[in-house]
Chains A and B, each alone.
Chain A
């Protein structure tokens, strides 16, 4: 792949918080949450560029990140082991302490 991925499987990451005026694909409910990278899905044309007629270059690494449901929802009623998986682009992630 042309662009090297910053994170590895098992890395702890925190999702950035923001609501830019353009199209973006990081749901608000997951912003600010800390999770763990479980896979690199691939490196794809940037949808935030494509959505506005851009070329999507440079392409961006996309990760599958898992979060504990109890840490995403304030009043989650399932088990403490339930997880949610969200695909998130690298520029929406920061490293988090283990």
Chain B
């Protein structure tokens, strides 16, 4: 059984979305963060691909393009010991409370 990304030839009745869409600010920031981490040699393109491909299939299907990038970056930062899940969760909670 191929992994979730290896989907060439999978049957579907859904049309292919060929349109462009306007990027949200957070998507641009994820792209920038991704680029900076690459320039600093923290992560490689192939590591990102592995991290995205290793997402649980139900998670992979439910996330948008840059949400997958975000999940993959989080996975790699934790794997490399640069951040802990607790640090990320704490920061997210701080941001959530600051916005209220």
Which residues in A have some Cβ–Cβ distance to B below 8 Å? 19, 22-23, 27-30, 47, 50-53, 73
Contact = CB atoms under 8 A, between A and B. Distances in A.
Contacts of B53: 23
Contacts of A50: 44-47
Given A19-B2, A23-B53, A29 B8 contact: yes
B83 to A, nearest CB: 17
Nearest to B10: A29
B8 A23 contact: no
A52 B8 CA distance: 24
Question: For chain B, which range describes its interface: under 10, 10 to 19, 20 to 34, or 35 or more residues?
Answer: 10 to 19
B45 to A, nearest CB: 8
B50 A52 contact: yes
A65 B18 CA distance: 26
B15 interface: no
B9 interface: yes
B90 interface: no
B47 A53 contact: yes
A28 B6 contact: yes
Interface string B46-59: 11011001000000
A14 to B, nearest CB: 18
B13 to A, nearest CB: 15
Nearest to B9: A29
Given A19-B2, A23-B53, 8 more contacts: A27-B6, A28-B2, A50-B45, A50-B46, A51-B47, A52-B47, A52-B50, A73-B9
